[in-house]
């Protein structure tokens, strides 16, 4: 109701409450409140008229009707980005895998399950967007075949033949126009900077957002992240660990600073 009157809502935190219980109800972190207040007065409606495409969450690649290949992505980073872009006046389309995070109100949500479905949705909407941020953790491989019935346990071993999924970031990079901004994510465990820079070049992206599972408070599931943003102009900027809401604002601030 309040959001419908254009009020800015700071979501409550989750954790230990004064009562000793755990759950939603904690005051938002002071840095998040300050960030949102600054954004409201300094950047509100700065992206009015822009169309933004965002992907979030995991993809599930079916083995049979009850099993799948997936990952631990919750979609929190993607939904935080969608919230920031929405609050700055952009028209946001969120292509969401089967994530646990709740999408913000006031945006278009396209629910998908598999990498192929996410690819199809991105290909359909990319030509119409000004900015695309691919924050989803898309499966790199899918089973060659999907069993129509539940696979019964019969042997000590079972082999599953896998095939590469279509690379969404690379596909969009090959289609990208000069007036579009394309941003990808790189979650790495080794040779982080080298892998991120290589991805930036090979996928023809404008920015790559790197986070490493070796950094405390980064990666899937949590409410914080620690990133470094690499630009195609060979720029790089490392950020301290922050809440994902604050990280989303840093990402949007960086990519919209392009002249």
Q: Are the CB atoms for 134 and 82 separated by under 8 Å?
A: no
8 Å CB contact between 40 and 26: no
Is it the case that residue 81 has pLDDT exceeding 80? yes
Instruction: Please report, for the chain, the start and end positions of each structural domain, with discontinuous segments joined by +.
Output: 46-140+162-255
- pLDDT tens string 247-259: 999 999 999 986 5
> Which architecture, in CATH terms, is 46-140+162-255?
3-Layer(aba) Sandwich (3.40)
Task: Give the position of tokens 């933004």.
Answer: 52
Residue 188 has a pLDDT of 86
pLDDT at 4: 43
The three-class DSSP label of residue 225 is strand
Which pLDDT score is estimated for 248?
Answer: 95
Nearest to 205 by CA among 247, 162, 168: 168
| DSSP letter, residue 164 | E
What phi, psi does 120 have (nearest 5°)?
A: -60, -40
Asked if the model's pLDDT at residue 5 lies above 50, the reply is no
Give the tens place of pLDDT for each residue, 218-247: 667 678 899 999 999 999 999 999 999 999
Position 154 scores a pLDDT of: 86
- Please give the positions annotated as active site: 71
**What proportions of the chain, in percent to the nearest 5, are helix, strand and coil?**
30, 25, 45
Residue 205: the pLDDT is 98
Average pLDDT over residues 148-160: 91
DSSP 12-39: PEEEE-TTS-EEEEEPPPHHHHHHHHHH
3-class secondary structure, 43: helix
In 3D space, the residue among 218, 187, 245 whose CA is nearest the CA of residue 36 turns out to be 245
């Amino acid at each position: 109701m309040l959001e419908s009157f254009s009020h800015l809502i700071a979501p409550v935190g989750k954790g230990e409450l004064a009562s000793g219980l755990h759950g939603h109800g904690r005051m938002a972190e002071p840095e998040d409140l300050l960030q949102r207040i600054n954004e409201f007065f300094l950047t509100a409606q700065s992206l009015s008229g822009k169309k933004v495409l965002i992907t979030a969450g995991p993809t599930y690649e079916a083995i049979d009707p009850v099993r799948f290949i997936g990952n631990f992505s919750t979609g929190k980073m993607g939904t935080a980005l969608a919230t920031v872009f929405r609050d700055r006046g952009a028209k946001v389309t969120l292509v969401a895998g089967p994530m646990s995070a709740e999408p913000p109100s006031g945006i278009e949500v396209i629910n998908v399950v598999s990498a192929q479905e996410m690819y199809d949705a991105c290909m359909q909407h990319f030509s119409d967007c000004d900015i695309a941020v691919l924050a989803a953790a898309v499966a790199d491989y899918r089973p060659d075949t999907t069993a129509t019935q539940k696979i019964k346990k019969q042997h000590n071993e079972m082999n599953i033949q896998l095939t590469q999924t279509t690379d969404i970031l690379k596909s969009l990079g090959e289609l990208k126009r000069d007036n579009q901004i394309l941003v990808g994510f790189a979650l790495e465990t080794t040779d982080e900077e080298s892998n991120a820079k290589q991805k930036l070049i090979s996928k023809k992206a404008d920015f790559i957002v790197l986070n490493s599972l070796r950094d405390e408070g980064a990666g899937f599931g949590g409410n914080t992240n620690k990133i470094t943003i690499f630009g195609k102009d060979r720029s790089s900027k490392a950020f301290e660990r922050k809440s994902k809401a604050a990280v989303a604002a840093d990402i949007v601030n960086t990519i919209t600073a392009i002249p």
